[in-house]
Amino acid sequence: MIDEAKREAVDRLGEIQGEMLELLDEADRILRHDIGGMIYERARSYWLAHVKMALTKEHGYLGGSMVDFEDTIKEAEEDLAEGDD
């Protein structure tokens, strides 16, 4: 029963990550198309990059987070799999 709750929690984390990435892409599009200029360039170069790198390793930026959301989900999945033994 506890494994079922943990499985649901891990699944939900994956959904949250996906939702966050979708919202980040939406913010990027709004900034790029509707705001533009230096405001977009600063956002793209700083916080858009930082947030994306904190969520996933799949990004086009140099560098990354030491531990990102993706790592946390994978670690939780591994922990769940070890509990099956």
- Per-residue pLDDT tens digits for 31-66: 999 999 999 999 999 999 999 999 998 777 667 778
Mean pLDDT value of segment 2-30: 95
- What per-residue confidence (pLDDT) applies to 7? 92
pLDDT above 80 for 4: yes
Residue linked to tokens 């922990």? 79
- What per-residue confidence (pLDDT) applies to 68? 93
- The C-alpha R_g of the chain, in whole angstroms, comes to 16
- What per-residue confidence (pLDDT) applies to 1? 52
pLDDT above 80 for 85: no
Q: Encode burial over 39-71: b for 16+ CB neighbours within 10 A, e otherwise.
A: ebeebeeeebbebbbbbbeebeeeebeeebbbe
